Structure 1
């Protein structure tokens, strides 16, 4: 029997572009966790103010990392929406220092954008629900 829990944490790309540390498979990582409604996953953050102040970071060893990306279409000028069912996740060993974001989208055409990083974290503490 395992002495740890595996927690799936979804972190928005802006967290990394701002100041979040880049997780690496096999290394320790720590996130304030917030349950995603109707899911077994958690949203992760390093920024105060997004989650209640009493949320203690959950630390663990990174087991896997996936880049979440989706296809976007321009619904009206400079207003892009995710194409339903287009989200996929690509396994990587480490998070890239930069993401394909809004600036990669071209008016009048569909385009792909990386939206989040999904980390499987092995932790000895059980996150709240």
Structure 2
């Protein structure tokens, strides 16, 4: 079986490499699925509690900057989920796995199979590396946020 990976995209010293995680719902809702070699734009939510920089296409108060660049890599993020004592589905610690792919899926699998009492593997999003020209990141202006979510308050 042939793999669908592309050769590494050449990157020079005039770019900054930004690692971004993107939740599955962002892409399923309205963001274009990123693919290796393509252009991609994300508003960054930095300083998240899990230590990763998260990208959004929906705005909010915690956006620190907007970046556009060439996608160097895409990894599918999967994680086990288990229901806790009060019935909330939570990720199982240390179960996250990144699998290299050439293009993000449009629709993610696994959440439709969650059943009480079982632990299930769910595709929760992607991690990408984006080559952004140095000095082109646009800082966020609080008044430019189009949407404010309760989680941002």
TM-score class, shorter-chain normalisation, is: 0.7 to 0.9
Partner of 2:79: 70
Report the CA distance shift for 1:3/1:10 in structure 2 as closer, same or farther (over 3 A): same
The runs of 5 or more residues in structure 1 that have no matched partner are none
Conserved in 2, the CA contact under 8 Å of 1:66 and 1:89?
A: yes
CA RMSD of aligned residues (A): 2.3
Q: In 1, Cα distance between the equivalents of 2:83 and 2:93? A: 13
The runs of 5 or more residues in structure 2 that have no matched partner are 1-11, 140-153
The structural deviation recorded for 1:98 is 1.0
Aligned length in residues: 126
Deviates more, 1:94-103 or 1:110-119: 94-103
User: In proportion to residue count, which structure has more strand?
Assistant: 1
Whether 1:15 aligns to 2:46 is no
Deviates more, 1:32-41 or 1:106-115: 32-41
- SS in structure 2 opposite 1:57? strand
The structural deviation recorded for 1:115 is 1.4
Partner of 1:122: 131
Q: In 2, Cα distance between the equivalents of 1:38 and 1:58? A: 21
TM-score, length-scaled by structure 1: 0.84
Q: In 2, Cα distance between the equivalents of 1:28 and 1:109? A: 39
Report the CA distance shift for 1:3/1:41 in structure 2 as closer, same or farther (over 3 A): farther
TM-score, length-scaled by structure 2: 0.72
Report the CA distance shift for 1:108/1:95 in structure 2 as closer, same or farther (over 3 A): same
